[in-house]
Amino acid sequence: MPVDRAIADILAGMMLDFQTCYRALQNRDPRYDGQFFTGVTSTGIFCRPVCPAVRPKPENCRFFPSAAAAMAAGFRPCLRCRPESAPHSPAWNGVKTTVSRALKLIEQGALEQHSVGRLAQRLGVGERYLRRLFATHVGASPAAVDRSRRVLLAKKLITDSTRPMADIAYAAGFRSIRQFNDTFRKLYGRPPTALRTAHLGGRGSKSAPPCQPTPDRESASRGPL
């Protein structure tokens, strides 16, 4: 099944058609916060329905049932409405028991040290079947869900805490400082320290040290995912 069709089917199952989503976006309706995300094709950014930014034209909108699905489609998180702060998507609630269990395990870090195949074994299903379930019910692969979890958790810790960047990298499940820095540069176009500086408006954050590898932990890293 094509990805766009699969995502449309997921949204339809949630009683969210294009008109409903766009109307919620126009009204910045908080009732829909976390229920879907809007990918804006003209900017490459995805947002929450309550985003304060100028509303995009309907022809520039794509709607997704989860942040993971939006990121898997190539959109990067908005720095204004901060998708990492959205409530968990109801698209993940009430789906098949296997998917619910898998999502819970991923949230607990099951893919930080093990493969999707190992996760499938824990759930008592085949890997291909698990991937198919995720495509049908989540709109993103298990690996894509895990990537979005790590990125959005790290982003929240960067802006909402004063923890050192190295601690944030490992707390969010990144396997190395290099992977952490490279991921943020690729996704946000800037290193993690710059995101914290921008969030603080530059007050008292310009002297923050760059994120440097910790020798003992970096040497133990198994490299990028």
| Residues marked as catalytic | 47, 51, 78, 81
**In whole angstroms, what separates CA 208 from the centre of its chain?**
26
Distance CA 60, CA 91 (A): 23
Secondary structure class of 62 (helix, strand, coil): strand
**Contacts with 49 (C-beta within 8 Å, 6 or more apart), sequence order:** 21, 24, 25, 28, 29, 30, 32, 33, 35, 36, 38
Tally of CB atoms within 10 A around 80: 11
Tally of CB atoms within 10 A around 195: 18
Token look-up 């079947």 returns 129
Tally of CB atoms within 10 A around 113: 10
Decide: 115 and 123 in contact? Cβ < 8 Å.
no
Decide: 77 and 154 in contact? Cβ < 8 Å.
no
| For the chain, the helix, strand and coil percentages under 3-state DSSP, each to the nearest 5 | 55, 5, 40
